[in-house]
Structure 1
Amino acid sequence: MTLSAASVLAESAERRPGHPALVFGSERITYADLWRATRRYAAVLRDHGVGPGDRIALLLPNTPHFPMVYYGVLALGAVVVPVHGLLRADEIVHVLRDSEAKALVCAGPMLTEGAKAAEVTGTALLTVLAEDGADGADGPPRLDVLAERGEPLDHLVPRAPDDLALVLYTSGTTGRPKGAMITHLNLVMNVHTTMRSPFDLTPDDVLLGCLPLFHTFGQTCGMSACFLAGGTLVLMSRFDGPGALDLMVTEGCTVFMGVPTMYLALLDAAAGDPRRPALDRAFSGGSALPVKILEDFQEVYGCPIYEGYGLTETSPVVAYNQKAWPRRPGTVGRTIWGVEAEIAAADREDRVELLPYGEVGEIVVRGHNVMAGYLNRPEATAAVLVDGWFRTGDLGTKDADGYLTLVDRKKDMVLRGGYNVYPREVEDVLMRHPAIAQVAVIGVPDDKYGEEVCAVVRTRPGSEPGPELAADIVSWSRERVAAHKYPRLVEFVTDFPLGPSGKVLKRELTARYSGGS
């Protein structure tokens, strides 16, 4: 049996050769042209010694070069190792060494860090979007220039379903980032399954590609699912609210996928721009979406938001609100086809002990989406793959209808005076305060209670941060949540530290505000 994830693009190029696959600025690239360019990139990589099983790192922004290199690597039977675009050289060195990358394909604007890392590790370097070195005479070989005059690869290299397609590095919230090994079967099944439900993508859909393609949400749910459907992906090189709103209106986008911070930015943009895109549906993932933001977005933009849940290690989608069942705001819906999710006792590390409906515990997952393991990390793999289940590290509940509700990350839970406080629950309440635009609840050390609940707040325009507003937030929340849950401390920020998928980095906030507690 053979299977190649490159067929996602190859088959749509056969079915819809003249249909626009990509829009990037003034460029309109058809499926036939995208697949031809991809095969030319593959041929150049092959001529530089890349073959089946080789790991090729990609340090690329959101441009058409990303899918061309991505599917070109897969077409050769090699393994794609996407690199977060904001990493520094030392961090890139870790990815290159840990993955044993044979080559790094780096965009010109990212060469300052990428070239340093490649030199330190002795990794072969190829570039796109670079100014010099068209054929290697004055610098690294330019993959894009060489591909223009090359002959396309004439066939996909066959792979087994359990061969690796991707190594996706986690965000490294606990120590060095780990490489999740995603097989061709993992990837193809997640793309095929989610294209149909929850995303319901069709050849007529136009999706705004504003999520970073180096991240699994933008890469698998956005790019690959859209290409499999034969739709059109409108790429943004970098997300901003006003720009995204303008692009969706101009290009007639019907589908939006984003993380909660993007929904906040689009709400801010809508306050200054009366135009509205013809969106049919929107999908949220990456982190929990406060119900208040969901309600506001649906009112302002006139389309439903379907919230879901996934992880790097699950290829990525686990569950989503889906058209086949009623949407339930505040939940992440039901599992996708072929995937199971249950709730297990969070304090049983060595085994999976399933809990009844309604009880809070750790979400565990099994199905076609679960990774093969962490690269070079047998102990870390054994810690999360237990009794045939993947332990997510997320706390949640499941009701009798199969809907999952995220409570919080195990490590984000605040233990105040012996009582568990789940930050997301408090955040959902605080988001209804009229002065709060965005909030993150964290625990900071406290001599009396062990940890104290602290709300880190970005205020709405017209609200003045300071002691008076902080006192108001404390008293307001005291009336709406239990005595052990409401924040006694309030800190104000203008911006939140964000990870690659747009998640608020609570560990940085905790470190920032723990010193004086």
Structure 2
Amino acid sequence: MTNLAEFLVRTASRYAERPALRLGTAVTSYAELDRLSAQTAALLRAQGLRDGDRVALMLPNVPEFVVLYYGILRAGGIVVPMNPLLKARETEYQLRDSGAVLLVEWHLAPGEGGQGAAAAGVRRFVVEPAAFDSLLTEQEPRHEVAATAEDDVAVLLYTSGTTGVPKGAALTHAGLRHNTEVNAVDVQQATPQDVFVGCLPLFHIFGQVCTMNAAVHSGALLTLVPRFDAQSVLDIIARDRATVFQGVPTMYAALLQCPDTADADVSGLRMCISGGASLPVEVLHGFERRFGCMVLEGFGMSETSPVVTFNQPHRPRKPGSIGTPIRDVEVRLLDDDDQDVALGEVGELAVRGPNLMKGYWNRPQDTAAAIPDGWLRTGDLARQDDEGYLYIVDRKKDLVIRGGYNVYPREVEEVLNEHPAVALAAVLGVPDERLGEEVAAAIVLRPGTSATTDELQHFVKERVAPYKYPRHLWLVDALPMGPSGKILKREISVSVN
């Protein structure tokens, strides 16, 4: 097996009549999903797609995303997943940078994608379910799967741009296959009886590999959620007797704050997984108390296909930790001179393994800077305990240096999240003439609660060293978030008195 699409072919041969996808009341079997992807491959080839051509996929969490994803791979193309909410200039940039030959867009998209495609001179194909189904029925299925090498690119996934201009992480068939297998077998221990909740966006690496690909690998049912809404997700978990839920911290916080959880039947859940950002320990414990399902936290990034470490089921879980490296993956913690730090000390997390990207698309200098010696520099600061468990301290670039003292925003955010009125908190550094940087915090309060900034500042001041508590605090209605639910600190409007 080389081509990632062969997972679907293999699963369909074993579990042809088992349900693969569900959206509302519509259910697609694995035999149907296999056929539809084969017809999609035939359609793409008939329209001139060649091996290695890039096809941009701009759809929400609908069955057509899965059909097209595997169809593109099956035809020998490279999938370029894109957020359906991108603006025209962002779409144009990614289409030009990737060299995509086609943009496939959802019929209910706001139209920005089409404008971007026109500006980039890229063909656009609009997917409307009934018309798309009709078009596919006219195609003779292309049952064969295009031959690919281990290091051929399968997915070109653009990073969120938190460290500058978005770059295309070139993920290989071998890297994605390895990470999918480890997730499905080692981490999730998934079976065909499992039901995965598909509320993470499939255009994002977390939802794409850990939910969609892992479900297909296992022959499990993927129940799709096009738009996350806490109450709707709870209803779907109950309706489908879902067994595996995966989300980012903001999703867990929303489920925990949902007012109608007393009667929510989530008894089918056997595993909850958090990633994408650090999960506040208070949210973790609150969720477990409310819903009775343990939350296991891990760490990953687009460049690592994505999972690097995880609180694995066969080892004790440590709240606040991102766990230990997954199978075949190595990690190191390095100082500014690229030397290993002492046990318990903070260093930059570096990763090596079969899950690493091939590089940044057409960016050899950026690739060499990120992977200078076979070890990917993640830009995350972490420490490791004597049992090998890792703890993310913060992003290296988010480190606040206040008067020569290092302040890690994650630590201050954890304290703020302990306050009963705080729903979300983002701690960051702001310029200060005297100290270089000062600690600041933007805070979203829970619905129906109240708290003053003075009260919140005092709450933190009592719990951290004097140089760590935020001197500037302000209340906001919401925090800016990326497509995966990660808080985008660079976009926070700073309010300093």
- In structure 2, give the amino acid aligned to 1:63: V
**1:244-286 Cα deviation digits (max 9, x unpaired):** 0111111110110000000011111255552231211100000
Tell me if 1:476 matches 2:475. no
**1:152-211 Cα deviation digits (max 9, x unpaired):** 112111111111101000001132200000010011011011111212211111011000
Q: By how many angstroms is 1:218 displaced?
A: 0.5
What is the DSSP-based 3-state SS (H/G/I as helix, E as strand, rest coil) of the residue aligned with 2:235? helix
Partner of 1:502: 485
Tell me if 1:302 matches 2:325. no
Query: Over aligned residue pairs, what C-alpha RMSD do you find?
Result: 1.4
Q: By how many angstroms is 1:130 displaced?
A: 7.2
Give 2:278's match in structure 1, choosing from 288, 292, 311.
Answer: 288
Give 1:325's match in structure 2, choosing from 293, 303, 315.
Answer: 315
**1:210-248 Cα deviation digits (max 9, x unpaired):** 000000000111000011011110000100101101111
Partner of 1:17: 16
C-alpha contact 1:344 1:353 (8 A) present in aligned 2: yes
Partner of 1:183: 172
Matches within 5 A, 1:3-402: 3-110=2-109, 112-129=111-128, 143-269=132-258, 271=260, 273-277=262-266, 278-345=268-335, 347-348=336-337, 352-402=338-388
Matches within 5 A, 1:382-461: 382-461=368-447
- In structure 2, give the amino acid aligned to 1:412: D
Q: Tell me: CA distance 1:270–1:304, structure 2 relative to 1, closer, same or farther (3 Å).
A: farther
C-alpha contact 2:274 2:298 (8 A) present in aligned 1: yes
C-alpha contact 1:59 1:82 (8 A) present in aligned 2: yes
- In structure 2, give the amino acid aligned to 1:221: C
- In structure 1, give the amino acid aligned to 2:494: Y
- In structure 1, give the amino acid aligned to 2:392: L
Give the share of equivalent positions with the same residue, in percent.
47
* Bigger shift: residues 105-114 or 186-195: 105-114
What is the DSSP-based 3-state SS (H/G/I as helix, E as strand, rest coil) of the residue aligned with 2:146? coil
CA distance in structure 2 between the partners assigned to 1:311 and 1:28 by the alignment? 31
What is the DSSP-based 3-state SS (H/G/I as helix, E as strand, rest coil) of the residue aligned with 1:23? strand
What is the DSSP-based 3-state SS (H/G/I as helix, E as strand, rest coil) of the residue aligned with 1:197? helix
Show structure 2 runs of 5+ residues with no match.
Answer: none
C-alpha contact 2:170 2:358 (8 A) present in aligned 1: yes
**1:337-388 Cα deviation digits (max 9, x unpaired):** 000111011x23xxx3222211101000000011110011111111110221
C-alpha contact 1:41 1:144 (8 A) present in aligned 2: no
- In structure 2, give the amino acid aligned to 1:456: A
**1:34-63 Cα deviation digits (max 9, x unpaired):** 111111111111100112111111011110
**1:81-122 Cα deviation digits (max 9, x unpaired):** 001121011100011100000111111112611221221112
* Bigger shift: residues 447-456 or 477-486: 447-456
C-alpha contact 2:87 2:112 (8 A) present in aligned 1: yes
What is the DSSP-based 3-state SS (H/G/I as helix, E as strand, rest coil) of the residue aligned with 1:194? helix
CA distance in structure 2 between the partners assigned to 1:332 and 1:33 by the alignment? 38
Tell me the TM-score normalised to structure 1 length.
0.94
What is the DSSP-based 3-state SS (H/G/I as helix, E as strand, rest coil) of the residue aligned with 1:451? strand
CA distance in structure 1 between the partners assigned to 2:283 and 2:164 by the alignment? 32
What is the DSSP-based 3-state SS (H/G/I as helix, E as strand, rest coil) of the residue aligned with 2:187? coil
Show structure 1 runs of 5+ residues with no match.
Answer: 135-142
C-alpha contact 2:200 2:484 (8 A) present in aligned 1: yes
C-alpha contact 2:309 2:322 (8 A) present in aligned 1: yes
Q: By how many angstroms is 1:492 displaced?
A: 0.5
Partner of 1:485: 468
Stretches of 4+ aligned residues off by more than 6 angstroms:
none
CA distance in structure 2 between the partners assigned to 1:234 and 1:287 by the alignment? 24
What is the DSSP-based 3-state SS (H/G/I as helix, E as strand, rest coil) of the residue aligned with 1:484? coil
- In structure 1, give the amino acid aligned to 2:400: V
Partner of 2:494: 513
CA distance in structure 2 between the partners assigned to 1:45 and 1:391 by the alignment? 37
- In structure 2, give the amino acid aligned to 1:429: V
CA distance in structure 2 between the partners assigned to 1:153 and 1:270 by the alignment? 49
* Bigger shift: residues 113-122 or 331-340: 113-122
Q: By how many angstroms is 1:314 displaced?
A: 0.2
Q: By how many angstroms is 1:463 displaced?
A: 2.4
What is the DSSP-based 3-state SS (H/G/I as helix, E as strand, rest coil) of the residue aligned with 1:443? strand
Q: By how many angstroms is 1:144 displaced?
A: 4.2
